[in-house]
Structure 1
Amino acid sequence: MNIIEFYRQDVIENCFKTKSFSNAWEVWEKVIIQKLGKDYNWNDILNLGENLSDVFFSTRGDVEEGLSVAQANSKASTSGTAWECLVTWYLNLVFLNSRAVVFKKTSDVPSPLTDGLKVMHNNTATNSESDLIVVIFPKIPHFSDDLLQVPLTDNRSKPYVPDGNKPAGLYKSGSPKKVNIDKYAAKVCEEYYGKFEMGVIQCKTNWNENSQIPMLWDIVYRLGKNIDRDIPNFKVGSNGFSIIQLKRFTYSFLTVPTNSRENYKATTLAVNRVRNLSGGNYWGFPDKQSVASSTKQIFDNNFMSAFDGSIRQSLQNVIEKKPELLEGFQLEVFK
């Protein structure tokens, strides 16, 4: 296992420890398996992105029993947190065997990257509502090699010994030590910061009430190094790191939505607010021209550099040659 897959496994484990998600999973797993089919391939996995809202709504039948939407969401455990976990689950599934990880908790992201996201007003840090953070790790052996070949040092990421057999402190009693891996990843990130790519995904169940927030944050991040000229006493980044130093940065909006999708047209205010986000606007349904792209399109639009080849090659390689990587996603058909 390398550091990238270690982080992915940790993120997915934490999703299943989230009560709202684990409760809903009892129903969602069956729906997902039905949509995948028995003889699933890479395309069936990718196409789940067009059905995430159907999966989400499969636990909302209580609305028909006379409960309000809020009560139904509470009873069925399909809260905004569960939606974030479902999206995190799907995106990381497609990213298997790639160099990208979708983090749900900011505290799990290498600290230089989160420092770069901070917007400073005078001496006060203001953080965006960065629900999900996609990190594309650079193509260097520090992240792609097995954990046992990665020696920890106090001198940033050096020396690196690609053929080394020394455990180097990453393991204790047979298990990787996350605190050591976090420290090491942060050191390497400091040194190779300009080779990283990152995407923030604002992930919401409601579209109308939340569309203005990503629009404003995207404007702030687009201003980048010129923000202090246009908005006095503001700057992007802290501790010497800023997103403007990254290889690429995008900001996206991804919604269910719980509002009726028939109400969304090209002229709708909520649609226009997120139309020009740097990373695009997505929902858990198939594409609707001039309104929203399917969640599955976010890979082609923002994160193709994470794959050494194509999505098809990456996922099919997992299915045929590395099925053990699927086990942590807790689908019966993956076992």
Structure 2
Amino acid sequence: MDKGSIVERYRRDIILQLFTVKSFADAWPTWKLEIDRLTADMTDARGIFELGNHLANIFRTTGQGGRAQSSLSGGGIAWECLVCWYMNTVMAGSRGVVMRPVKELVPPAVLDATCIVYGNAQTNTESDLVAVVFPSGVFGGVYSPAFVGDVVAKNARDTTVGIIQCKTNWNDNAQIPMLWDMVYRATGFAEHSVRVGRNGYSPRHFKEFSYSFVTVPSQGDTSKFKPHSMAVKRVRGLSGGNYWGHPSKSDVALSISEIFNRNFGVAFDDNILSHIEKVIEAGLIKP
């Protein structure tokens, strides 16, 4: 596993961007203490993978778990950054990356494919994470985000893409991913002049395309979420699934750690735990 590979240099830029977000950078020293405790200082492969079961509690160590605080935009962005960091840590050394919706980082073909055109107006989804799994054997050149964008544009049919909406609150936001997923699956509603995609790209042009929802949730007491709860029903059918920062609960939500096998398994050449062990040995995950 080459630390200097184009995918890993791209991942490095993605991670560095996270630390330009004040709410994330401020919370990180506290979160890192808990992360190190759960992962034996980032040397335990299973501990790293199973951080997905603990992300909600890690998030709350900085006091951002309560509804009044986490409803603030800073708390929501910090949660998005934490999920992004976790997913890239598990995917280190693989062909997959996950990034915040920063124009300089997201491949233009993905932005074009996920653009909603309503009449003459164009818009993308809310601030969502973007996951990309590159096809194997396509990189050969000098790294830059623009170069990565060209690779995706030329190899869209062999590229897997996932949109991941991250929200601290579940009840107030469940209808949003439900509606976006419906639009993307339908690729628009021609009778209402709603189309998905531009410049020759749409979700159907990728090898796989999924839309997921990841929440803390800020409500705290997860026992209140039942299979018949309206918030649960709204996201149950998402193409990419619904997840939270706790262990999986049958018919309610999966742990975030399950998102890899479900949507991005093609990123790994081995089972995920073995992959993480090799990545630790290669020094791609540092204490």
TM-score, normalised to structure 1, is 0.79
Instruction: Point out where structure 2 has 5 or more consecutive residues left out of the alignment.
Output: none
Distance 1:288 1:203 in 2: 18
Identify the residue that residue 7 of structure 1 maps to in structure 2.
Answer: 10
Change in 2 beyond 3 A, CA 1:44/1:78: farther
Contact 1:228/1:235 (8 A) holds in 2: yes
Offset at 1:106?
Answer: 3.9
How much does 1:313 deviate? 2.4
Q: Residue 186 of structure 2 aligns with which residue?
A: 223
**2:84 aligned residue:** 88
Report 1:1-335 matches (<5 A): 1-37=4-40, 40-60=43-63, 69-70=67-68, 79-107=75-103, 108-142=105-139, 150=141, 170=142, 181-224=144-187, 227-229=188-190, 231-259=191-219, 260-320=221-281, 322-323=282-283, 325-327=284-286, 334=287
- Cα distance, 1:246–1:55 mapped onto 2, change above 3 Å: same
Q: How far apart in 2 are the matches of 1:56 and 1:99?
A: 27
Q: Judging changes above 3 Å, is the alpha-carbon distance between structure 1 residues 307 and 268 closer, same or farther for their aligned structure 2 residues?
A: same
For 1:80, give the aligned amino acid.
G
Shift in CA distance, 46/7, structure 1 to aligned 2, threshold 3 Å: same
**Alignment TM-score, normalising by the size of structure 2:** 0.92
In 2: Cα distance, 1:188 partner to 1:25 partner: 33
Once the two structures are superposed, residues 35-91 of structure 1 have per-residue CA deviations (whole angstroms, 9 ceiling, x without a partner) of: 11358422111000000001011111897xxxxx535887xx971111111100100
Counterpart of 1:220, as a letter, is V
CA contact (8 A) 1:56 1:78 kept: no
| Closer/same/farther in 2, CA of residues 78 and 128 from structure 1, 3 Å limit | closer
CA distance in 1, matches of 2:230, 2:186: 23
1:27–1:96 distance in 2 versus 1, CA, 3 Å: same
Q: Supply the distance in 2 between the matched residues of 1:114 and 1:141 (Cα, whole angstroms).
A: 21
| Equivalent position SS for 1:60 | coil
Distance verdict in 2 for CA 1:245–1:268, change over 3 Å: same
CA contact (8 A) 2:116 2:195 kept: yes
Structure 1 spans left out of the alignment, 5+ residues: 64-68, 151-169, 171-175, 328-333
Q: Is contact 1:59–1:78 with CA below 8 Å preserved after alignment? A: no
SS of match in other structure, 1:28? helix
Identity over aligned residues, as a percent? Answer: 41
Structure whose CA Rg is larger: 1
- The amino acid across from 2:196 in the alignment is V
The answer to whether the 8 A contact 2:101-2:127 is kept is: no
**Alpha-carbon distance between aligned partners in 2 of 1:47 and 1:72, rounded to the nearest angstrom:** 23
- Aligned residues: CA RMSD: 2.1
CA shift at 1:202, angstroms?
Answer: 0.5
* CA displacement at 1:187 relative to structure 2: 2.5
Q: Which runs of 4+ in 1 moved over 6 A?
A: none
* Contact 1:130/1:200 (<8 A) preserved: no
**CA distance in 2: counterparts of 1:62 and 1:245, whole angstroms:** 39
1:282 counterpart SS class: strand
Task: Assess if the C-alpha contact under 8 Å between 2:42 and 2:48 holds in 1.
Answer: no
Amino acid at match of 2:91: F
Residues 241 and 298 (structure 1), Cα distance of their counterparts in 2 relative to 1, 3 Å cut: same
Q: Could you tell me how far 1:188 is from its partner in structure 2? A: 2.4
Does the 8 A contact of 1:221 with 1:236 survive in 2? yes
